[in-house]
Chain A
């Protein structure tokens, strides 16, 4: 292989990698449900740590943590979904996302795995009921027998009051 060819091959690999990342989702559990967020917005996963409370934020923002000099607000996903609060245990983790240039940590019951879900395996969440026009649920990813609820992560941090589509919370 000539040098040029090698470079081309590498470039193609990189492109391919990017494609892969687009279809990769980090899945996590809230109760019995499995949710997924695109891996591209995930910066890191850290264990539960000491939370410092902050005034003037919605109830689902539990406070902030200082992660190596970065202040990261934490969102309790259960509270965001208006589910009942649950005490944190040793499986509770924080998934740190970078959304619109700002970090936010999601407190979830536990992380599951990273899944590759092709676009044609994701069913649109349109018409799923619930009054929300811009849905929090982007789609339902079919993985074998199971279903991962793919979240529209930008919506998590939007000000819009959430009402979970009935079809999902049922």
Chain B
């Protein structure tokens, strides 16, 4: 997606050419475009087509049609893109409030405010970003005296920047404060049983615990943050938006929290899988590797709840059987070596999901699960396939969390 959002200058120059369109109308158009692309691929792949004769003309026309559909898809997606500045502007207004409440002096620097993002995503970003920002102001930045003592400028700096990287938007909230305290965080993480007393996780792994629900190192709970509730909002939103969170911190220099979010929620690049009678789809960015295991790389552990492991070069990856997870009654499981195993990235971990068949890679239209389908676990939603079929889009992280 090479979407450019018009800048203010553009808007003024072409003021007469701008239209205000309700978001419902655009959603309707998006739905129709989705249906159009499905119908086209249904037509082009129709089993009624004669496959014997010379189909050069047809193939060429079908190819052109597909190209056009893809372009219409992109153009329609672009309609819903807005500059991330919409959110940033609202956040800017909160800075003075934070200065008042913390008694710290803060400068907010904003970069990449014209980065384009799906309006639906933008609308949901405010609350989580506000929490990250509050955390930076409250825990990240030092009090003025402390800053002067360590030779930092009196005014703390919080940077809010956005940039598009591939099909993702990265939003980074950084501060030039005291940074995360490894000892303190590791101490609490151990106390809460997240790490054993001898475990020494790498920094990038350890920092993630600050997003655990209820995790707070703040000695006193302030008005702004420290209750550990804000991070829940962040986690929930990021999960809904299919985003990822990363933290980078250097003691004494500052902390950066970055949110990686897909630019658009409308279309999803997926690999399609078949397991038994069910069809599943997995977003390509969640796939670590697809392997055809041989007998040596499969290991089953009878102790406990009869779990399986897959050896992947030097490491062992826990196997998550979809049949088990979803409680389908299947007495005999196919031996691992008879399946194709999709190794999925579930946060910082990997899980191995055996399936009967890997089918295809497709751009799918995703629909939320509603009504009686809302209870289906570990899924982002339903994917409508070009063939008219429906597949369940798997959420690797929730799949991994649910196994135990």
Does more than half of chain A's interface fall in helix, strand or loop, or is it mixed?
strand
Taking a contact as CB atoms closer than 8 A, the residue among A53, A54, A99 that contacts B371 in the complex is: A99
Residue of B277, B365, B376, B382 touching A57 (CB-CB under 8 A): B376
Q: Which A residues are CB-close (under 8 A) to B388?
A: 66
Judging by beta carbons under 8 Å apart, are B277 and A69 in contact?
Answer: no
A57 vs B279: C-alpha distance when bound (angstroms): 15
Query: Are B375 and A69 neighbours in the complex by a CB distance under 8 Å?
Result: no
Q: How far is the CB of A98 from chain B (nearest CB, A)?
A: 9
Whole-angstrom CA separation of A141 from B373 in the bound complex = 31
> Which residue from chain A places its CB closest to the CB of B382 in the assembled complex?
A71
Considering the complex, which residues of chain B in the window 268-307 have a beta carbon less than 8 Å from any beta carbon of chain A? Answer: 277-279
- A57 B375 Cβ-Cβ under 8 A: yes
**Cross-interface CB contact of B390 among A52, A55, A68, A102, cutoff 8 Å:** A52
A64 to B367 Cα, complex, angstroms: 13
Which of B278, B365, B382 touches A55 (beta carbons < 8 Å)? B278
Instruction: Please tell me if A100 contacts chain B, counting CB pairs below 8 Å.
Output: yes
B157 contacts chain A at the CB level, 8 A cutoff: no
Q: Quick check: is B185 within 8 A (CB to CB) of the other chain?
A: no
B373/A73 in contact, CB under 8 A: yes
| B11 contacts chain A at the CB level, 8 A cutoff | no
| A157 CB contacts on chain B under 8 angstroms | 371-372
Instruction: Digitize A51-65: 1 where CB-to-B-CB distance is under 8 Å, 0 elsewhere.
Output: 011111110010011
Q: Are B35 and A64 in contact (CB under 8 A)?
A: no
A75/B326 in contact, CB under 8 A: no
Interface size of B by CB at 8 A reads 28
Provide the bound-state CA to CA distance between A57 and B322, in Å: 14
Question: Number of contacting residues on A, CB 8 A?
Answer: 24
Name the residue in B35, B327, B372 with the highest tally of chain A Cβ atoms < 10 Å from its Cβ.
B372
Least CB distance from B333 to A in Å reads 15
Residues 361-399 of B, flagged 1 when their CB comes within 8 A of A and 0 if not, give 000010100111111110100101000111010000000
Whole-angstrom CA separation of A73 from B369 in the bound complex: 10
The reply to whether B278 and A53 contact each other, CB–CB distance below 8 Å, is: yes
Q: Complex formed: what's the CA distance from A104 to B38 in Å? A: 22
Q: Is the CB of A52 within 8 A of B372?
A: no
A69 and B384 within 8 A (CB): yes
- Give the chain A neighbours of B377 by CB distance below 8 A: 56
CB atoms of A101 and B370 under 8 A apart: yes
Residues from chain A with a CB closer than 8 A to the CB of B376 are 54-57
> Interface centre among B322, B382, B390, by most A CB within 10 Å?
B390
Tell me which residues from 24 to 69 in chain A have a Cβ below 8 Å from any Cβ of chain B.
Answer: 52-58, 61, 64-66, 68-69
- What would be 8 A-B contacts, judged by CB atoms less than 8 Å apart? A54-B278, A56-B375, A56-B376, A57-B373, A61-B372, A61-B373, A69-B35, A157-B371
- Which residues of A pack against B, CB within 8 Å? 52-58, 61, 64-66, 68-71, 73, 75, 99-104, 157
